[in-house]
Amino acid sequence: MEVFLEINMEKELRKDYKKFKSIMLDLDEEHSDYLSNDINCWNLFIFAIVYENSNLIACIRKLRKAGINHKVINDYFYHYIKLKYKMEEGIWSWSEIEEFGIELEDIKKTSTKMAFF
């Protein structure tokens, strides 16, 4: 059921996403290969919404007005907000460091402790 609600939410944002993608491709031809991948561009679109509080508030209001459950909206954006915080503070787990290929200079603190037996 929740996946269905997320699909409705993504359908509601699709028009804005297409506009965002078009603007980004016009502004930055250098990264057109990256932006032509829908998953990459969608993540950049959602991250752009989360980056500015006013954008996030406007987006949440739009989705609520469209009848999307606030719990689904909050759960969806929570992961992006958490990633934004981790990027700003430089706090990464060892698993994330390895999975995302994060450079050592971008790591200020690790969020997990490693123990050797």
Read off the pLDDT of residues 25-53 as tens digits, 9 standing for 90 and up.
888 777 778 888 888 888 889 999 999 89
> Is 32 or 73 the better-scoring residue by pLDDT?
73
> Which residues constitute the domain of residue 25?
2-89
- pLDDT for 8: 80
- pLDDT for 114: 53
Domain for residue 103, yes or no? no
3-class SS at 82? helix
pLDDT band at 100 (very low <50, low <70, confident <90, very high): confident
Domain for residue 107, yes or no? no
77, pLDDT greater than 50: yes
Average pLDDT, integer, range 74-95: 87
Count of structural domains, the chain: 1
User: Quick one: which of 63, 68, 65 has its CA closest to 49?
Assistant: 63
72, pLDDT greater than 90: no
Domain for residue 27, yes or no? yes
- pLDDT for 113: 61
Give the span between the Cα atoms of 57 and 1, in whole angstroms: 25
